[in-house]
């Protein structure tokens, strides 16, 4: 399904460019596969990212379905424990690195230039390169499933020495694929920073930017800071496996816990990399459909910055049970509790934006509202997990699984879906089918809560994560989770159908597709022509 972007933008739709100047500025359009392989256009690359992440979402989702099917009832029915471990691992890796992160980059590619009035990303060729690294990385990663000994089976956190001394032979390929995906992320982040800092429309100050640009700017700095740490950690693994070093091998004088420190120094900011852009999206959608300006714009920016800085100081709260000294436990408990404050401020601001607004419930708003509620539930369980003594009971159980899925599925993923519904009129020129979108929303909400809410109970009752079979007292929770999982998985097919319909036709959308939408992207026609803002728009200051 190739999105139907206009090859040449029709002259009558272009508000800014003149046809003569254009022929000189742009090379002759390419057709077919070459168009997509060689494109340097931010909209085409954005679409590629989005289609790629949707594909990965369904591959990772299929793995999750295998996991849920095996856990449907006690006993081993469908798969061997060895394959089960590969499924849980690949589900995590694909969803984190292949679905959530690239979809945010795709949204950034499409929307940041439109929101700041730039003609394209600052570094278009780099942009092409950073996208095309991804299919390479993930083809490599998925191919490990077909190798002798199977693919990665040590969890997406790949703790040493399970992932080094005791790992399957394919681990070296897994490391290489993470390297490639990491390079792609870093290049994408550099591009976004360069774009946001340099290509804003004349007169647009930093504090005039839509919050999506702000959150992505901060996310990009996080990416640049932590991806090299991940690269370092996996390189040390590579050396341990292939070159006889002993970074993580206690028998050779190494330290397995060092791996966890390195991983979570990357991993915790990574968690915020997956949620900060979602904050930006929701901060665009809620004001639009409340017909009221975002409450506390400045404090939202500050809170994002605070979360980003604090995210570097909390990593060891993932390691409360590894036997750290008491002082370290206390330090990480305190910093983790602190991080709840700026996160709370965000939620309060969204609610205050809705208060005394004029609210309507179009599909993007539905998903954004569900995001606020369910992300907050995930935040609450996060607060509980921060209490170090209690974490000794929660750690590595389904309570943790419930927590991070609440943050990532009805959190980050719902924000991505909200963004898709919000900007589909801009991308395709058509409104998405309302009835279909409502079905998609309600089935997703029911499915996601049926899947993940019972996991809280299973975890508290004592079910550890990553087990292929379980004691009988967990059977009911798992039955509910599996049914919910199948419902949620199936209802995402509606979304694909809806996108195909929306690309092909539907109610025509005007330039300003939503009544309350204010940002710059709504000043260009719908669908957005291939080249926009070739002459910078005049940015009108609002009284801030």
Which residues in 150-209 contact another protein (CB under 8 A)?
153-155, 159, 161-162, 165-166, 168-169, 205-207
Burial class (CB in 10 A: 0-12, 13-18, 19+), 283: buried
> Of residues 5-64, which lie at the interface with another protein (CB under 8 A)?
none
Q: Which of the stretches 51-59, 72-80, 275-283, 401-409 binds another protein when contact is defined by CB under 8 A?
A: 72-80
Q: Which CB sits closer to another protein, 64 or 107?
A: 64
Q: State which of residues 392, 505, 507, 535 lies at the interface with another protein (CB under 8 A).
A: 392
Min dist. Cβ of residue 187 to another protein (A): 24
- Residue 406's CB is within 10 A of a number of other CB atoms, namely 25
Residue with tokens 């299973």: 458
Residue 71: count other Cβ atoms within 10 Å of its Cβ: 25
Write out the binding residues for another protein, residues 453-492 only, by CB under 8 A. 453, 456-457, 460-462, 464-473
Closest CB to another protein among residues 19, 78: 78
What gap in Å lies between CA 453 and CA 445, rounded to an integer? 11
Annotated catalytic sites, by residue? 91, 120, 156, 184-185, 268, 270, 272, 283, 317-318, 343, 346, 465
Cβ-Cβ contacts under 8 Å for 85 (sequence gap 6 or more): 153, 154, 155, 466, 468
Applying CB under 8 A, which of residues 183, 225, 383, 480 lies at the interface with another protein? 383
Asked if residue 508 lies in contact with residue 525, where contact means CB atoms within 8 angstroms, the answer is: no
**Pick 61 or 168: Cβ nearer another protein:** 168
387 makes contact with another protein (CB under 8 A): yes
Answer yes or no: are the C-beta atoms of 96 and 269 closer than 8 Å.
Answer: no
Q: Are 524 and 511 in contact (CB under 8 A)?
A: yes
Binding another protein (rule: CB under 8 A), the pick from 79, 194, 352, 494 is 352
Within 13 Å and on the Cβ side, how many CA atoms surround 272?
33
Using CB under 8 A as the criterion, what x/- string covers residues 398-437 for binding another protein? Answer: ----------------------------------------
Q: Which of residues 65, 273, 278, 372 is near another protein by CB under 8 A? A: 372
Please state the closest distance from residue 116 (CB atom) to another protein, in A: 17
Q: Which of residues 233-262 bind another protein (CB under 8 A)?
A: 250-251, 254-257
Question: What is the Cβ-side half-sphere exposure of residue 325, based on CA atoms within 13 angstroms?
Answer: 3
What phi and psi values does residue 375 have, to the nearest 5 degrees? -60, -40
Stretch that binds another protein, among 29-37, 45-53, 383-391, 525-533 (CB under 8 A): 383-391
Query: Cβ closer to another protein: 392 or 497?
Result: 392
Subset of 98-137 contacting another protein (CB under 8 A): none
- Residue 76 interacts with another protein (CB under 8 A): yes or no: yes
* DSSP state for residue 538 in the 8-state scheme: P
Could you tell me the smallest distance in angstroms from the CB atom of residue 235 to another protein?
Answer: 19
Instruction: Decide if residue 518 touches another protein (CB under 8 A).
Output: no
Task: Report which of 60, 210, 214 is spatially closest to residue 520, judged by C-alpha positions.
Answer: 210
Contact 148, 233 (CB under 8 A): no
Interface with another protein (CB under 8 A), residue total 112
Minimum distance from residue 74 beta carbon to another protein (Å): 6
What is the nearest approach in angstroms of another protein to the Cβ of residue 459?
A: 9
Q: Does 347 bind another protein (CB under 8 A)?
A: yes
Q: Tell me: does residue 146 bind another protein (CB under 8 A).
A: no
Q: How far is the CB of 451 from another protein (least distance, A)?
A: 15
Q: How far is the CB of 330 from another protein (least distance, A)?
A: 4
CA distances from 6 to 2, 16, 31, 160, 428 (A): 12, 17, 12, 50, 10
Q: Could you give phi then psi for residue 5, rounded to 5 degrees? A: -85, 140
DSSP result, 432-483: PPHHHHHHHHHHHHHHHHHHHHHHHHHHHHTPBSS-SS--GGGHHHHHHHHH
Looking only at residues 287 through 326 of this chain, which bind another protein when binding is defined by CB under 8 A?
Answer: 290-299, 302-303, 305-306, 309, 313, 321-323, 326
Residue 95 C-beta: closest distance to another protein, Å: 17
Instruction: List phi, psi (to 5°) of 197.
Output: -75, -30
């Amino acid at each position: 399904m190739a999105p139907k972007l206009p090859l040449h933008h029709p002259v009558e739709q272009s508000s800014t460019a003149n046809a003569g100047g254009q022929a000189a500025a742009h090379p002759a359009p390419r057709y077919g596969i070459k168009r997509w392989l060689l494109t340097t256009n931010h909209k085409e690359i954005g679409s590629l990212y989005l289609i790629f992440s949707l594909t990965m979402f369904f591959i990772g989702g299929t793995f999750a379905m295998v996991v849920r099917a095996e856990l449907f009832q006690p006993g081993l029915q469908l798969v061997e424990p060895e394959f089960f471990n590969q499924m849980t691992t690949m589900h995590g890796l694909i969803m984190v690195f292949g679905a959530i992160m690239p979809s945010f980059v795709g949204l950034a590619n499409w929307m940041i230039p439109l929101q700041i009035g730039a003609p394209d990303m600052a570094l278009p060729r780099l942009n092409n390169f950073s996208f095309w690294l991804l299919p390479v990385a993930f083809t490599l990663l998925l191919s490990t499933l077909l190798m002798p000994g199977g693919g990665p089976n040590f969890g997406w956190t790949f703790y040493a020495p399970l992932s080094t001394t005791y790992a399957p032979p394919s681990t070296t390929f897994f490391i290489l694929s993470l390297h490639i995906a990491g390079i792609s992320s870093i290049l994408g982040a550099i591009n976004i920073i360069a774009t946001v800092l340099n290509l804003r429309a004349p007169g647009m100050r930093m504090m005039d930017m839509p919050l999506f640009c702000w959150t992505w700017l901060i996310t990009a700095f996080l990416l640049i800071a932590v991806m090299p740490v991940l690269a370092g950690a996996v390189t040390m693994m590579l050396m341990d496996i292939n070159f006889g070093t002993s970074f993580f091998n206690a028998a050779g004088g190494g330290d397995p816990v060092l791996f966890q420190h390195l991983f979570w120094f990357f991993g915790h900011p990574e968690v915020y990399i997956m949620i900060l852009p979602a904050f930006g999206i929701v901060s665009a959608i809620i004001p639009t459909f409340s017909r009221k300006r975002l409450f506390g714009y400045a404090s939202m920016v500050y809170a994002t910055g605070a979360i980003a800085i604090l995210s570097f100081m909390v990593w060891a709260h993932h390691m409360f049970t590894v036997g750290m000294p008491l002082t370290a436990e206390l330090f990480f408990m305190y910093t983790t509790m602190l991080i709840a404050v700026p996160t709370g401020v965000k939620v309060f601001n969204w609610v205050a934006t809705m208060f005394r607004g004029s609210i309507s419930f179009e599909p993007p708003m539905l998903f954004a509202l569900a995001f606020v509620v369910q992300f907050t539930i995930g935040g609450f369980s996060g607060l509980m997990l921060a209490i170090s003594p209690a974490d000794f009971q929660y750690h590595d159980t389904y309570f943790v699984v419930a927590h991070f899925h609440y943050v990532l599925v009805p959190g980050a993923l719902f924000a991505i879906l909200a963004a898709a519904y919000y900007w589909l009129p801009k991308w395709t020129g058509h409104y998405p089918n309302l009835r279909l979108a409502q079905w998609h929303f309600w089935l997703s909400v029911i499915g996601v809560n049926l899947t993940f809410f019972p996991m809280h109970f299973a975890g508290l009752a004592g079910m550890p994560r990553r087990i292929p079979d379980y004691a009988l007292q967990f059977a009911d929770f798992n039955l509910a989770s599996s049914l919910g999982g199948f419902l949620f998985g199936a209802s995402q097919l509606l979304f694909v159908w809806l996108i195909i319909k929306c690309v092909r036709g539907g109610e025509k959308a005007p330039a300003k597709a939503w009544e309350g939408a204010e940002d710059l992207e709504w000043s260009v026609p719908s669908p957005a022509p291939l080249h926009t803002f070739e002459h910078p728009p005049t940015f009108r200051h609002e009284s801030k």
